[in-house]
Amino acid sequence: MFPGYAGKVVRVNLTRKRVKTQETSEELARRFVGGRGLAAKIFFDEVPVATEPLSPGNLLIFMTGPFAGTSALNSGRHCVTCKSPLTGLYAHSDAGGTWGQELKFSGHDGIVFSGKARKPVYMWIQDEDVELRSARHLWGLDAYETDEAVRKETDEKAEVACIGPAGEKLVKVASILHDGKHARMAARAGVGAVMGSKNLKAVAVKGSKPVRVADSEKLQSLVKETAPIIVSNTSRMAKYGTSNIVESAEVSGDLPMKNWYQGRWEEGAKKISGEKMAETILVSRYFCGRCVIGCGRVVKITTGKYAGVDGSGPEYETVASLGSLCLVDNLEAVAMANEVCNRYGIDTISTGAAIAFAMEAYEKGLISKKDTGRIELKWGSEEALLSLTRMIGARKGIGKLLGQGVRAAAEKIGRNSEEFAIHIKGLELPMHDPRTYTSLAVAYATSNRGACHLEGVTHPLERNTPFPEFGYETVMNPYAPEGKGEMTAKMQNLMCMFDSLPACKFLIFGKIKIQNLLDWLNAITGWSLTREEFLKIGERIFNLERLYNLRLGVSRKDDMIPPRILSNKRPDRGEATSLPHIGKMLSDYYQYRGWTEEGIPTKEKLHELGLIDEQPIGKKRQP
């Protein structure tokens, strides 16, 4: 066992009900750190490209990293990795909460599930005791209920990862819930469906072993210095949650509305803002493991139409996707839809995007009441929002189609509905607009899991967060393409490290320095990584992910933004908007990355990153 790591990974063959543990490889830990990076390496080595995402051949990997379980700040995170049923490509889905650190306390860095259980099962890990149990009595329970039931059967203090009915039914936007009612979700890219395809209802963990840290005193003192800086820089987020930006995002044009068609929605934004939540339904904050920010919302609605909502409140992404994207301006309705998503276990972003898509298809006459089960899919309709959310979660009616994501839905509906199916590589866009923060165009286009704002986290540098460490001393011009390709690549590499350590990306808003993370990592592991080596690991991870997708035929032709984002000006915004120059940014991006103009890492780059053995299968594809 080496410091910073539990030293073991659980390997579970669900088909054969066989469980074994394997030592965590120190060599791989040094090359890929943990979390997203280490999981990507296992995935790359073991999942053949032709694997069907919902077949037993897919792996479902839960992995955390050296920070988890230590006193490193905001480190209560882990990564879920598999082949995505939504995109057909490599996917990672990262969750907060306390599950990751609890796994570490149990003496494990990760769990790799393969195969498929014949009957529903759940896994119970208590330190070295690893057990598969029947979950037949849990099948059909919603995710909140599952969390409660599993804890009742195991340990009240156990941490549970579980799916709701959507995952069981292989809904392609299904998510994995952690922390019960506090709902930390591994939400994106349909990882819940992969869990369901394995007949795996839950994974409960409880541990009692502290994580060995190489220089514990040093870590303590480093953390102590940094914490107040982070706290003082994130007070607005603490007070109003991630939704603190709703109103300003409406002004800047970052907030998408009406399926990315509309440019202003002032009154609506006010009604669903973080301030509004604080004034009305908010009851407390929630903190993931070791968190000093506390952006999580806990809400409760006790009267009226939506009485009963109780638990995790909607994040910014959720407020936007279930709110502004559908023009729904009732915060309580959004909170209810959020809870429905959590209980069924579906991604709020993809769900909201699918509903907005359906509303537009309805408006254009491409679907009718006959298709919706008599529901009028009017913009802003709370009833439509909630009905469709439930139908997607339950895989019923038109929800069967919408739950496959907007790409598949548009293929089915046809008649040019592809025009307003807003996705990249099959993953629905998150709720920040590349027409306001232009870097997002290239960041979304090149994200390895499809349209993603978290692989890059580039837009803060164009909004209000200069990043002097990469030389961006002032806020970048949000509308200008210059320099955005390079900045995006740099941030993507860094974010690979955040996801692998793991560390919450909101530390960026807390003005954390790369050196802080590096110092923590060295103190925890006893390594003496330089800043350059640290960032190189991030680059290695990102390139490895790209290599997997390359095997599946992904290249520049797939690194494209949806037509609406490319060319719809949102005329109601006047001059306060732009259209992203994707060609220029992509060209700069590839060049900075040392990729060919077709988006393929060169041999020289693979050599430099020590990835030459991980070349994509079919060497002929290499120019």
Distance in Å, CB of 126 to a second copy, minimum: 48
Collect all residues with Cβ–Cβ distance below 8 Å to 593 and sequence separation of at least 6: 489, 543, 601, 605
> By C-beta, is 166 or 441 nearer to a second copy?
441
- Helix, coil or strand: residue 124: strand
The amino acid occupying position 136 is R
Distance in Å, CB of 369 to a second copy, minimum: 14
Q: Decide: is 157 part of the binding site for a second copy (CB under 8 A).
A: no
Q: Decide: is 621 part of the binding site for a second copy (CB under 8 A).
A: yes
Residues 350-389 touching a second copy, rule: CB under 8 A, are 364-366
Part in contact with a second copy (CB under 8 A); list of ranges 32-40, 156-164, 186-194, 410-418:
410-418
> By C-beta, is 179 or 588 nearer to a second copy?
588
Q: Decide: is 529 part of the binding site for a second copy (CB under 8 A).
A: no
Distance in Å, CB of 358 to a second copy, minimum: 15
Part in contact with a second copy (CB under 8 A); list of ranges 160-168, 301-309, 347-355, 564-572:
564-572
Query: Among the residues of 414-530, which ranges form H helices?
Result: 439-446, 460-463, 484-500, 514-525
Among 127, 419, 482, 614, binds a second copy (CB under 8 A): 419
Among 141, 581, 606, 611, binds a second copy (CB under 8 A): 581
* Residue burial 181-216, b: 16+ Cβ < 10 Å; e: rest: bbbbbbbbbbbbbbbbbbbbbbbbbbbeeebbbbeb
- Residue 34 is given by DSSP the state S
Q: Decide: is 618 part of the binding site for a second copy (CB under 8 A).
A: yes
Strands 8-13 and 121-126 come out as: unpaired
Distance in Å, CB of 590 to a second copy, minimum: 7
Cα angle 480, 87, 344; round to 5: 105
Q: Decide: is 209 part of the binding site for a second copy (CB under 8 A).
A: no
Q: By rule CB under 8 A, what count of residues binds a second copy?
A: 38
Part in contact with a second copy (CB under 8 A); list of ranges 85-93, 292-300, 464-472, 558-566:
558-566
Exposed, middle or buried by CB within 10 Å (0-12, 13-18, 19+), for 120? buried
Q: Decide: is 572 part of the binding site for a second copy (CB under 8 A).
A: no
Q: Decide: is 145 part of the binding site for a second copy (CB under 8 A).
A: no
Exposed, middle or buried by CB within 10 Å (0-12, 13-18, 19+), for 503? buried
Q: Decide: is 15 part of the binding site for a second copy (CB under 8 A).
A: no
Q: Decide: is 423 part of the binding site for a second copy (CB under 8 A).
A: no
State the SS3 of 231-248: HHHCHHHHHHCHHHHHHH
Exposed, middle or buried by CB within 10 Å (0-12, 13-18, 19+), for 427? buried
Question: Is there a contact between 9 and 108 (Cβ–Cβ < 8 Å)?
Answer: yes
Distances (CA, A) of 585 to 72, 446, 457, 479, 489: 35, 11, 16, 12, 11
Among 239, 390, 511, 556, binds a second copy (CB under 8 A): 556
Query: Among the residues of 7-67, which ranges form H helices?
Result: 26-32, 35-46
- Residue 367 is given by DSSP the state S
Among 126, 216, 220, 587, binds a second copy (CB under 8 A): 587
> By C-beta, is 304 or 571 nearer to a second copy?
571
Between helix 531-551 and helix 514-525 the angle, nearest 10°, is 90
Distance in Å, CB of 478 to a second copy, minimum: 16
Residue 85 and residue 164: Cα distance in Å, rounded?
17
Distance in Å, CB of 262 to a second copy, minimum: 12
Residues 460-499 touching a second copy, rule: CB under 8 A, are none
The amino acid occupying position 250 is E
Q: Decide: is 566 part of the binding site for a second copy (CB under 8 A).
A: yes
Distance in Å, CB of 144 to a second copy, minimum: 40
Question: Is there a contact between 339 and 142 (Cβ–Cβ < 8 Å)?
Answer: no
Question: Is there a contact between 547 and 412 (Cβ–Cβ < 8 Å)?
Answer: no
Among 119, 157, 370, 557, binds a second copy (CB under 8 A): 557
Q: Decide: is 412 part of the binding site for a second copy (CB under 8 A).
A: no
Residue 176 and residue 155: Cα distance in Å, rounded?
20
Residue 520 and residue 529: Cα distance in Å, rounded?
11
Part in contact with a second copy (CB under 8 A); list of ranges 135-143, 373-381, 457-465, 548-556:
548-556
- The pattern of x and - marking residues 25 through 44 that bind a second copy according to CB under 8 A reads --------------------
Nearest Cα residue to 328 out of 348, 307, 308: 348
Residues 253-292 touching a second copy, rule: CB under 8 A, are none
Among 27, 50, 370, 414, binds a second copy (CB under 8 A): 414
> By C-beta, is 103 or 406 nearer to a second copy?
406
Q: Decide: is 228 part of the binding site for a second copy (CB under 8 A).
A: no
Residues that bind a second copy (CB under 8 A): 364-366, 414-416, 418-420, 553, 555-557, 560, 563-564, 566-569, 571, 579-584, 586-587, 590-591, 597-598, 600, 618, 620-621, 623
